[in-house]
Copies of this chain bind each other. A is one copy, B any other.
Amino acid sequence: MSRRRITLADVARHAGVSGTTASLVLSGRGRELRISESVEHRVREAADELQYRPNIVSVGLRTGTTRTIGFVSDTVATSRLAGDMIKGALEAARDRGVMLFIGETEGETDLEQGLLRAMHDRQVDGIILASMFTRTVKVPTGLKTGPAVLLNSVPDRSAPLPSIVPDEVEAGRTAARVLLDAGHRAGIHLIGAGPGIHDVPRDALAGVERLTGIGEILDQAEVTVAGGHICSDWLPNQGYDATCSLLERERPRALICLNDRLAFGAYQALDAFGLKVPDDVSVVSFDDHPIATWVRPKLTTIALPHYELGRKAVDVLFAEIDRRRDDVEPDKETYRIPMSVRIRDSVRSPQ
């Protein structure tokens, strides 16, 4: 096909110097190692002219660093959430000249192991283990060797690792404040979880934390939640069913839906009962799924910061890589990324 790639040796020959000299110049250490200005210039010229690009595979073999990180998630396709997280990670990586391997485990341990091994075989500089919904995970052994970060999940006691999660408790507080600020004091119902703090779908750490935040603010205001309805999955039809069964019993003034898909179902149920959002019932929700702007009226929701989560994961990972290099003790902090509210048209004061 096209002719052979240009190597460092070609550049050196073209500039009439040794490979070492060319290497020194191009890795920017020419100055400190006393390469003369003229030689430095010659080498740079030659590299430019030949369009030299270092072969990263070779550098990887020699130095052990490949400017490559792995992004392993349990599911990439389930929702666009993953997409935004990957996008954030991708951009942060690009800023550093680093490439991203991606892999998907589908929650299966052996696939996960295989993937982590495949990545280590390729000498990745670090790994991001991402989860598609916030939860506690057992850290796989394959992660304990090199630099790693948990994204959207926190480690159980098995191993300390830095982790990045959305600040769900604060999001819960925000949601409650939105309703209080609008003047709601009664008839507030939860859709998807509650009323107890542990009435959440299995492993749904986000649920627990959102409820915690909600409860905290409502308690402070001495407002009590009128009721809650747990759903096993946070999907539209469950939101619909839960809301219907609520509406058969009583007339709520406000709904806090645990995510936007539930809220979408709730909209449908309210519509079926001839109730208007926000005149009859206010709705506030979580995630800022695209559908939140598609429904009428548009949904006020507390946004998951997927993009920022992805970016932050890369930042923390590189900090971790640096501390390992410098032999500093590893990070094990949990970074909470703020979730900001998107005020739209689904909340109004009662009356």
- List A residues at the B interface (Cβ < 8 Å): 1-2, 53-58, 60-61, 66, 68, 76-80, 82-84, 86-87, 90-91, 94, 97, 99-104, 111, 114-115, 117-123, 144-146, 235-237, 240, 261, 264-265, 268, 271, 290-291, 294, 296, 307, 324
User: How distant is the Cα of A78 from the Cα of B91 in the complex, in angstroms?
Assistant: 15
Given known A-B contacts A77-B80, A145-B1, A54 and B121 have beta carbons under 8 A apart = yes
Please indicate the chain B residues that have their CB under 8 angstroms from the CB of A123 in the complex.
55-57
Output the least CB separation between A119 and chain B (Å). Answer: 7
Whether the Cβ atoms of B77 and A102 lie closer than 8 Å is: no
What CA separation (Å) do A65 and B308 show in the bound complex? Answer: 35
- Contact indicator B57/A145 (Cβ below 8 Å): no
Q: Is the interface of A mostly helix, strand, loop or mixed?
A: helix
Q: Pick the contact of A1 from B56, B103, B122, B146 — CB < 8 Å? A: B146
Enumerate the 7 nearest inter-chain pairs by beta-carbon distance, A residue then B residue, closest first. A77-B83, A77-B87, A236-B294, A57-B60, A56-B121, A80-B80, A77-B84
Q: How far is the CA of A207 from the CA of B121 in the complex (A)?
A: 44
- With A58-B61, A121-B54, A146-B1 as known contacts, state yes or no: A76 contacts B68, CB within 8 Å: no
Q: Are A261 and B294 in contact (CB under 8 A)?
A: yes
A1 → B minimal CB distance (Å): 7
Instruction: State whether A57 touches B236 (Cβ < 8 A).
Output: no
Contact B102 A90 (CB under 8 A): yes
Residues A117 and B53 in contact in the complex (CB < 8 Å), given A61-B61, A77-B86, A101-B100: yes
- Return chain B residues, CB-CB under 8 Å to A237: 294
Contact at A55–B268, with CB atoms within 8 Å? no
What residues of chain B lie closer than 8 Å to A117, measured between beta carbons?
53
**Closest residue of B by beta carbon distance from A2:** B145
Task: Please measure, in the bound complex, the distance between the C-alpha atom of A66 and the C-alpha atom of B119, giving whole angstroms.
Answer: 12
Q: Which residue of B lies closest to A298 (CB)?
A: B237
Nearest CB in chain B to that of A261: its residue: B294
Given A77-B80, A80-B79, does the pair A102, B86 have CB atoms closer than 8 Å? yes
Chain B neighbourhood of A121, CB < 8 A: 53-56
Give the distance to chain B from A263, nearest Cβ to Cβ, in Å.
11
A83 contact set on B, CB distance < 8 A? 76-80, 82-83
Complex CA gap A1/B290 in Å reads 44
Of all chain B residues, the one with the shortest Cβ separation from A235 is B294
* C-alpha gap A84/B57 in the complex (Å): 30
Contact of A118 among B80, B97, B144, B271 (CB under 8 A): B97
- 26 intermolecular pairs with C-beta atoms under 8 Å apart: A1-B324, A53-B120, A53-B121, A55-B123, A58-B61, A66-B122, A76-B87, A77-B86, A77-B87, A77-B307, A79-B80, A79-B290, A82-B83, A83-B83, A94-B103, A99-B103, A99-B119, A100-B101, A100-B103, A101-B101, A102-B102, A235-B294, A237-B294, A240-B296, A261-B294, A268-B296
